[in-house]
């Protein structure tokens, strides 16, 4: 399950996803130099809109797609802060595919329901995880964070008030 993973934050400190048990998570592989990078704005708006109702957006940078995230942790943090005012949790850069795939992406792309499986194909692929830590939906890069498709899926898995 997703909540069994411990990631590294951009600040180098461990982030135990078990601490998000009971919350919905939207896990997104992000990049600073991609045509989809403006989605940071929508991700931040989605996070601010739903965080008090139990949604956590988690950004995980990856340089696997066109070398579009070449920055250091400090450069990524500065970019997110100054360009998009990102307040949702950001993790350290990892591999989202290939032989060095990070365990979180191994779980999201290989150890989940058949309909959600498959290699991440590009930046800003989004995985929705329910409050029990089970992946329930996957959205391709082109699906905007504030689209009806994502908003409806998020609202469907938010924890009961």
Q: Is residue 87 part of a domain?
A: yes
Residue with tokens 């951009």: 10
Q: What is the pLDDT of residue 49?
A: 97
Q: What is the pLDDT of residue 161?
A: 76
pTM listed for this prediction: 0.96
Write out the residue range of the structural domain in which residue 29 sits.
2-155
Instruction: Give the CA distances from residue 101 to residues 28, 54, 72, 120, 155, in Å, rounded to whole numbers and listed in that order.
Output: 15, 28, 19, 10, 30
Taking only the tens place, the pLDDT of each residue in 73-89 is 999 999 999 999 999 99
Q: What is the mean pLDDT of each run of 10 residues along the chain (161 residues)?
A: 95 96 97 96 98 98 96 96 97 96 96 93 97 96 98 95 76
Q: What is the pLDDT of residue 159?
A: 87
Cite the active site residues.
Answer: 34
Q: Is residue 103 part of a domain?
A: yes
- Which of helix, strand or coil describes residue 130? coil
- Which of helix, strand or coil describes residue 90? strand
Domain total of the chain: 1
Q: Is residue 161 part of a domain?
A: no
CA–CA dist 132, 49 (Å, integer): 21
Question: What is the CATH number for 91?
Answer: 3.40.30.10
CA–CA dist 77, 21 (Å, integer): 25
Nearest to 153, CA basis, from 122, 126, 121, 132: 126
Q: Is residue 111 part of a domain?
A: yes
Q: Is residue 160 part of a domain?
A: no
CA–CA dist 129, 43 (Å, integer): 15
């Amino acid at each position: 399950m997703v909540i069994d993973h411990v990631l590294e934050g951009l600040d180098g400190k461990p982030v135990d996803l078990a601490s998000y048990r009971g919350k919905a998570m939207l896990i997104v592989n992000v990049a600073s130099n991609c045509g989809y990078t403006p989605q940071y704005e929508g991700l931040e708006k989605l996070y601010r809109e739903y965080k008090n109702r139990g949604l956590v957006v988690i950004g995980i940078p990856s340089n696997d797609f066109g070398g579009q995230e070449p920055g250091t942790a400090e450069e990524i943090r500065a970019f997110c802060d100054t360009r998009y005012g990102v307040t949702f949790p950001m993790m350290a850069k990892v591999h989202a595919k290939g032989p060095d795939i990070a365990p979180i992406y191994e779980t999201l792309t290989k150890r989940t329901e058949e309909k959600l499986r498959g290699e991440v194909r590009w930046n800003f692929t989004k995985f929705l995880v329910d409050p029990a830590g089970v992946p329930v939906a996957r959205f391709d890069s082109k699906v905007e964070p504030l689209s009806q498709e994502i908003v409806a899926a998020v609202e469907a898995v938010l924890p009961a008030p």
